[in-house]
Amino acid sequence: MAIYSFQCKVVARTKRLNNAVAHAAYINRIDLDNSRDGSKWRYGHSNEDVYKSGVILPDKADEKFSDPSYLWNEVEKKENRSNSRLARSFIIALPNELTPEQNKNLIEDYIKNHMTSKGMIVNYAIHIDDTNNFHAHLMSTTRELDKSGLEFAKKNVIGRTWNDDDFLEGLRKGWADTANTHLAKLDHQVRIDHRTLSAQRDEALEQFEIATTAEAKAEALSRAVSLDRPAIQRIWRSKLDTEEGKALREAQQDRRDLQLIIAEETKRSVLSLPQEIVLNNFTPKKIKSKSKTKTTIEKTRPAPEAVLKTADKGEEIIDLKYSPFGKLILNIQIMYNEHKKKSIGKKLNKRIRKIEKADKIGGGKGGYFARHLDNDYSVQPIPEERKEDEYTKLQKFFDDVNKRGIELNNKKEMMLKAEQEHKKMLSQQPKHKPKEDDQNDRHIKYK
């Protein structure tokens, strides 16, 4: 399944990663010599995992820069200060849904549209290891070429703009957009997103609130639930084939798959509810105030917050005057407020957090994996009976929501019926009292 992973580091004299020729030899799996310091780097013997490597040049660049040895030795020669930045190094996860050739087209398309088009030279290499871990290494120069295209410019104008956080964010977003475009063209449903899981989840919940159809609400809520999980962590190459690495990868995949199952169950359960209940109760509209309703007897007064709290506790409401259906309106308003506070999203999140907190093993401060791995790094998956128990609780919750929604609709119908009867009663009474009687009433009320 496609995941989003986009890492960027700087190769600089002051960094641990401080040799551009050495890093180029490593990602291309070739043998290179650094003419600046005389160092030799030999990686050509371990090139089994390299599917494709190459150098992509900007317009008007001389073809001699397409040779990695010439390119990075020229960089080492040009960037001769003690604190010079030599290159930017990227590691990008490629979607497993695409073939190696399709991934090559994808990465080259991204480089041309977002890097070389902005003046930089990019050396790339696509690696495919035994665990189907498709990823690409990119090395971009930090300085543009001069107008002739034969050497690097004296003044680094364009390259400095790459230091901005906004520019890096644009590169991250550009990768997500390019990958999604290629996935869509090849009829794959999966998509990736450069934003954090938290930001994506918040967006899904916002879409849930504003959705106007039951299907849209179910889809948005399902997406929010699927994103309510820990982010997948990168496993270092040195640990990929170890018991620890295999256990971590299996635990991450199990956690993500479980979340997708819960999300699908959420969508199915929401769609099983009557449409009017989903629309009316999950996003309740504000009940129109009856405080403007005029009668010849009295005026309906809105209930203050203190009275709402009193009524919520089941205590008797006192010192208030209501129209014949005013108390019913108050009860329905309380139900709406209560239901809004205990929205379906919050309920589901609590269920999911209960799963995460279950069966802590070997201390709980290390996050999800510390709770589900023992000292020998053997996987302790969530028991099947616990999964079934959580699904049962989840289904019971939706049944309760369904029952509550039906009760709410019944009360609304009672309210409307009572209001119609009251209006009918008022229409049968005289619109105006005699002036003398009106004066007598005023005298009695205010004397």
What's the pTM value of the predicted model, to 2 decimals? 0.57
107 token code pair: 């990465």
Between 215 and 67, name the one with better pLDDT: 67
CB atoms within 10 A of CB 289: 11
Residue 105: per-residue pLDDT: 96
Query: 4 pLDDT exceeds 80?
Result: yes
Over range 370-398, report the average pLDDT.
56
Dihedrals phi, psi of 334, to nearest 5 degrees: -65, -40
Q: Judge contact between 323 and 293, C-beta under 8 A.
A: yes
Give CA angle at 80 (79, 81), nearest 5°: 100
The pLDDT of residue 87 is above 80: yes
According to the model, what pLDDT value does residue 112 have? Answer: 95
Is residue 296 over pLDDT 70?
Answer: no
pLDDT for residue 427: 73
φ, ψ for residue 375 (rounded to 5)? -65, -20
Least confident piece of the model among 128-142, 150-164, 238-252: 238-252
Would residue 257 count as lying in a domain?
no
- pLDDT value of residue 214: 81
Which band of pLDDT confidence, cut at 50, 70 and 90, is reported for residue 69? very high
Q: Please state, in angstroms and rounded to a whole number, the distance separating the CA atoms of residues 29 and 21.
A: 12
**301 located within any domain:** no
Res 315 pLDDT > 50: no
pLDDT tens string 346-363: 555 565 566 555 544 433
Map tokens 């201390």 to a residue: 363
Q: What's the pLDDT score for residue 131?
A: 62
Quick one: pLDDT at residue 297? 36
Cβ neighbours around 39 below 10 Å, total: 13
Backbone angles phi, psi at 211, to 5 degrees: -65, 145
Q: Which domain holds residue 39?
A: 6-194
User: Is residue 285 pLDDT above 90, yes or no?
Assistant: no
- What integer pLDDT is reported at residue 117 of this predicted model? 92
pLDDT at residue 409, as a whole number: 67
Residue type, 206: E
Sheet of 85-93, strand order = 6-12, 85-93, 134-141, 122-128, 50-56
Q: How many domains does the chain have?
A: 1
Residue 348 lies in a domain: no
Is residue 173 assigned to a domain? yes
For residue 298, pLDDT beyond 50? no
Three-state DSSP class for 3?
Answer: coil
Please state, for a pLDDT cut of 90, what percent of the chain lies above it. Answer: 29
Asked if residues 36 and 44 have their Cβ atoms less than 8 Å apart, the reply is no
437 located within any domain: no
Mean pLDDT of 252-273: 77
Residue 48 lies in a domain: yes
Higher pLDDT, 210 or 338: 210
pLDDT, residue 231, reads 75
- CATH number for the domain spanning 170: value is 3.30.930.30
| CA pair distance 347, 261, nearest whole angstrom | 17
Give residue-wise pLDDT tens across range 20-34: 999 999 999 999 999
How many Cβ atoms from other residues are within 10 Å of residue 242's Cβ?
Answer: 13
